[in-house]
Amino acid sequence: MLKIIGGAVAAGALAAAALFGAAGAARAADDTIKVGILHSLSGTMAISESTLKDAMLMLIDEQNKKGGVLGKKLEPVVVDPASNWPLFAEKARELIAQNKVAVVFGCWTSVSRKSVLPVFKELNSVLFYPVQYEGEESERNVFYTGAAPNQQAIPAVDYLMKEEGVKRWVLAGTDYVYPRTTNKILEAYLKEKGVAAEDIMINYTPFGHSDWQTIVSDIKKFGSEGKKTAVVSTINGDANVPFYKELGNQGVKATDIPVIAFSVGEEELAGIDTAPLVGHLAAWNYFMSVDTPENKDFIAKWQTFTKNPKRVTNDPMEAHYIGFNMWVKAVEKAGSTDPDKVIDALPGTEQANLTGGVSKMLPNHHITKPVLIGEIRDDGQFDVVEKTPDLVPGDAWSDFLPGSKDLEADWVTLKCGNYNTKTKKCGGGA
């Protein structure tokens, strides 16, 4: 039974009441484990998040075909926080307090994740967060299956330095916490590598920004001063469509000024004419084009489930795939969906990823992941041009920020998300 909570109507609940009566519906609820899905299905982030809702429905359906979890069927409960950051907190509370979900899979932007954190802590529930983010956080109630900066941003810059000989840097992002913090880390890293302040240009635009003509013109001018220039893009959501279109309009080619993106994958490229973008780059931990048996099987199941042979997969989908299977294993290990037991059971849990290798949940609630650099093809897919030989452990706290380099997250031994290794105290700070 799928329950979709929009306004005041809960379709699944109405259907159950009609079929079984109130008592029957209550018994049915007792026989299911509810799984919350908290992704924007409307607004500026729907371009990226809607597909994650569909991915979760597929994963739940697959698990139910295997017999569910602990002998119970899983029941998805879908809400739409509508790219409205305060609404994420309201919808999270609705899922946990009213719908009694055992776990929530959701959020994309860091501002949405920050919005829901107090709710998960207060109500002691579990959130699986599937998207690359800025780090500088490790919460007991959150499991981060997307990339930390050392699993995406830093390797991307290293690649551009080594392979493209980049000397000048445009850090272009959407104006919120993830791009600002990531660029703060990257700026410190670049300066540590000897890059001068005048060779770093930083630009922020609002969510949904559409007029890129002046900004792209400024990027071209910045890149025309004799040093190899690249754009490191933390632009999020549907603003990517006009940004890439304007790059094409102004003839910004990858051979001149390569753009490496952290939030553009197969799903975002599906709505863009990719011909002018060939050769531009993205850094992720998964690409649909990866040739492994696990990935081929996942793609086939996805396209069958969606009844669309052209439907693409992407990195956050794989993160949900890993996180969901880790949650299932932890619940079975704990013999319960009780949040405290599941939280304790998750560290050490392993799950084969789709690119080759086995990802592991670490004591800091981040996972091990390979890092891949992909080059855009004219069909909207990526050619993998570099992959780390080993899986990289996610680091919650950056080594390149003064307030973070002494901090360690460890929820197994230290029972702390920001333990200061110098003061030997939990709570960060000096």
Report whether 217 contacts 250 (CB < 8 A).
yes
Tell me, yes or no, whether 250 lies in a domain: yes
Q: Among 352, 368, 384, give the residue marking a domain's end.
A: 368
Tell me, yes or no, whether 118 lies in a domain: yes
The dihedrals phi and psi of 352, each to the nearest 5 degrees, come to: -60, 130
One domain for residues 219 and 200: yes
One domain for residues 223 and 320: no
One domain for residues 82 and 170: no
One domain for residues 53 and 190: no
Chain Cα centroid distance, residue 88: 16
Report whether 125 contacts 339 (CB < 8 A).
yes
Burial classification of residue 208, based on how many CB atoms lie within 10 Å of its CB (0-12 exposed, 13-18 middle, 19 or more buried): middle
Strand 425-426 versus strand 372-376 pairing type: unpaired
* CATH number, position 346: 3.40.50.2300
Give the pLDDT of the chain (430 residues) as one tens digit per residue. 565 555 433 344 333 333 334 333 333 457 899 999 999 999 999 999 999 999 999 999 999 999 999 999 999 999 999 999 999 999 999 999 999 999 999 999 999 999 999 999 999 999 999 999 999 999 999 999 999 999 999 999 999 999 999 999 999 999 999 999 999 999 999 999 999 999 999 999 999 999 999 999 999 999 999 999 999 999 998 899 899 999 989 999 999 999 999 989 998 888 778 888 899 999 999 999 999 999 999 999 999 999 999 999 999 999 999 999 999 999 999 999 999 999 999 999 999 999 989 999 999 999 999 999 999 999 999 999 999 999 999 999 999 998 899 999 999 999 999 999 999 999 976 5
Torsional sign, CA 202, 276, 238, 264: negative
CA nearest neighbour of 382 among 374, 392, 373: 374
Dump pLDDT digits (tens) for 303-325. Answer: 999 999 999 999 999 999 999 99
Helices 293-305 & 315-334 angle (0-180, nearest 10) = 100
Can you tell me the distance from the alpha carbon of 43 to that of 37, in angstroms, rounded to the nearest whole number?
17
If phi > 0 it is left, if psi is from -120 to 50 it is alpha, else beta; for residue 426 that is beta
One domain for residues 157 and 10: no
Tell me, yes or no, whether 184 lies in a domain: yes
Tell me, yes or no, whether 336 lies in a domain: yes
Q: How many other CB atoms sit within 10 Å of the CB of residue 293?
A: 9
If phi > 0 it is left, if psi is from -120 to 50 it is alpha, else beta; for residue 348 that is left
One domain for residues 126 and 190: no
Q: Which two tokens stand for residue 295?
A: 């990935």
Dump pLDDT digits (tens) for 107-117. Answer: 999 999 999 99
What pLDDT score was predicted for residue 2?
A: 64
Burial classification of residue 59, based on how many CB atoms lie within 10 Å of its CB (0-12 exposed, 13-18 middle, 19 or more buried): buried
One domain for residues 169 and 253: yes
What pLDDT score was predicted for residue 21?
A: 41
pTM assigned to the model: 0.90
One domain for residues 232 and 350: no
Residue the block writes with tokens 């632009």: 235
One domain for residues 162 and 199: yes
Tell me, yes or no, whether 46 lies in a domain: yes
One domain for residues 44 and 141: yes
CA nearest neighbour of 74 among 107, 31, 38, 110: 31
One domain for residues 172 and 279: yes
CA nearest neighbour of 364 among 99, 198, 121, 148: 148
One domain for residues 381 and 243: yes
Q: Which domain holds residue 130?
A: 3-146+299-306+316-368
Number of structural domains (the chain) is: 2
Q: Which residues of 375-391 are buried (b: 16+ CB within 10 A; e: fewer)?
A: bbeeebbbebebbeeeb
Can you tell me the distance from the alpha carbon of 71 to that of 315, in angstroms, rounded to the nearest whole number?
30
Q: How many other CB atoms sit within 10 Å of the CB of residue 64?
A: 16
